[in-house]
Amino acid sequence: MPMNAPLNRKLRMGLIGGGAGSFIGRVHSIAACLDNRATVVAGALSSDPAKAKASAPDYDIPADRAYASFVEMAAAESKRADKVDFIAVTTPNNSHFAIAKAFVEAGINVVCDKPMTLTLEEAEELVKIVEKSGVVFAVTHTYTGYPLVRQAREMVLAGELGEINAIRSNYIQGWLRTRLETSDQKQAKWRTDPKQSGIAGCFGDIGTHAYNLGRYMTGLQPKEICCQLKSFESGRSLDDYGTAIVRYENGALGTVTASQISHGRENDAFIEIDGTKASLEWHQEEPNKMFVRKNGEPMKVYTRGGGPYLGALAGAATRIPSGHPEGYFEAFANIYASAFEAMLERADGKTHEPVNTVYPNVYDGVEGMLFITKCVESSQSNGAWLPFRHPKSRK
């Protein structure tokens, strides 16, 4: 089959952010191009025009497509016969909305880092713009790209765990145990700055990942939420630790715990799900194994690429034989690969599924912002229970 039929060529990628000193911009470019289905052709790589131009050779972006700003890029690319097929938004949270809006209104597909916007109001407005335009909009909740996370989703939705009673989802880090933001550390400075990060710190940065994992794996609809957030480092404006409890519509209880002040912890995202028939456990730092348990039976260990017992979603997300570890870049690339399929459907004049997609979408992005907003509101009200559900949530 030709590459990316019906286009029969590589998809043209534009990168917003990703200039010198960026982490996530480089990750996006590697992931999008991992399967040789896309290539970076244009970019506005920094809010500093000089830095943006100087960073272009790092991505082999030609000088005439190295833009000084995303505004300039959106205007110029929308007029080109060979315009970008999609852009990746890899900038701090406070710029996501303006960038995404500019390209969506230009009819260009968007892959946006999470959280999707700075505020819930921006997210709700962005949904309307996306719905009007019909573009494909993906949000990089990376961990949904791991094969065994997708295997867990298939198993839960097929009823293999029975009725889901409990979800314990966690993301534990330790890198902000000290006030790293007072130094010149770029990643710490913007993440702890309310003007750039938004109303939440740790919970906006990684708590959203933990929450999204539970939603993606189970499809359970949230009903109410309560939360306690705290900043343990004196002088820090935003939370660096928190725990939320979610009541789901089926009666299940979920907990979401996120920390950036736990000594020695790196990117320890892990989840446990209890059902009436079985339970499962998965750890992001050891992503190629998933544990499934039933009372009175030996524990089962599912492995990535482990053979015919894995479902279609896990199989499609696997590139190499079992025993050869796959990790973060491959999971990130799976988000792109799933979004590419929707982009190609759109290019072929077909209607693509907007809500219940394999990749996290604009509605997941809104729900992530709703999660952040309700957690902050609950914490400010001493852990009060608040209603919590977006009308177009994933099932």
Report the CATH number at residue 136.
3.40.50.720
Residue 169 sits in a domain whose CATH number is 3.30.360.10
What separation, in Å, do the N-terminal and C-terminal C-alpha atoms of the chain show? 32
Same domain, 253 and 376: yes
Final residue belonging to a domain, choices 142, 166, 197: 142
Question: Contact 219/275 with Cβ under 8 angstroms?
Answer: no
Q: What distance in Å separates the CA atoms of residue 98 and residue 165, rounded to the nearest whole number?
A: 40
Same domain, 76 and 209: no
Q: What distance in Å separates the CA atoms of residue 142 and residue 120, rounded to the nearest whole number?
A: 21
Final residue belonging to a domain, choices 142, 163, 197: 142
- 362-380 helix and 120-133 helix, angle to the nearest 10 degrees: 170
Same domain, 103 and 38: yes
Same domain, 156 and 109: no
Does 326 reside within a domain? no
Q: What distance in Å separates the CA atoms of residue 317 and residue 146, rounded to the nearest whole number?
A: 7
Judge if the upstream peptide bond of residue 308 is cis by omega within 30 degrees of 0.
Answer: no
Domain boundaries, position 62: 11-142
Same domain, 88 and 160: no
Question: How far, in whole angstroms, is CA 10 from its chain's centroid?
Answer: 23
Q: What distance in Å separates the CA atoms of residue 110 and residue 116, rounded to the nearest whole number?
A: 11
Same domain, 161 and 260: yes
Same domain, 95 and 204: no
What are the residue ranges of helices labelled H in the chain? 24-33, 49-55, 70-77, 96-105, 120-133, 147-157, 186-191, 194-197, 202, 208-218, 312-316, 328-347, 362-380
Q: What integer pLDDT is reported at residue 394 of this predicted model? A: 79
Same domain, 138 and 217: no
Spatial neighbors of 121 by CB under 8 A, at least 6 apart, are none
Q: What integer pLDDT is reported at residue 2 of this predicted model? A: 78
Each residue's pLDDT, cut to its tens digit, for the chain (395 residues) gives 678 999 999 999 999 999 987 889 999 999 999 999 999 999 999 999 999 999 999 999 999 999 999 999 999 999 999 999 999 999 999 999 999 999 999 999 999 999 999 999 999 999 999 999 999 999 999 999 999 999 999 999 999 999 999 999 999 999 999 999 999 898 999 999 999 999 999 999 999 999 999 999 999 999 999 999 999 999 999 999 999 999 999 999 999 999 999 999 999 999 999 999 999 999 999 999 999 999 999 999 999 987 889 999 999 999 999 899 999 999 999 999 999 999 999 999 999 999 999 999 999 999 999 999 999 999 999 999 999 988 888 77
Does 279 reside within a domain? yes
Final residue belonging to a domain, choices 114, 142, 170: 142
Q: What integer pLDDT is reported at residue 1 of this predicted model? A: 64
- Number of domains into which the chain is organized: 2
Same domain, 54 and 150: no
Q: What integer pLDDT is reported at residue 277 of this predicted model? A: 98
Helix (H) or strand (E) holding 47: none
Judge if the upstream peptide bond of residue 194 is cis by omega within 30 degrees of 0.
Answer: no
Question: Contact 93/197 with Cβ under 8 angstroms?
Answer: yes
Give me 30's structure tokens.
């590697």
Same domain, 310 and 187: yes
Does 299 reside within a domain? yes
Does 2 reside within a domain? no
Q: Assign 39 to helix, strand or coil.
A: strand
Does 354 reside within a domain? no
Same domain, 87 and 219: no
Give me 112's structure tokens.
């946006």
Q: Where does residue 230 rank: exposed (0-12), middle (13-18), buried (19+ CB within 10 A)? A: middle
Same domain, 148 and 284: yes
Q: What is the largest CA-CA distance in the chain?
A: 66
Does 303 reside within a domain? yes
Question: Contact 364/212 with Cβ under 8 angstroms?
Answer: yes
Angle at 73 between CA 72 and CA 74, to 5 degrees: 95
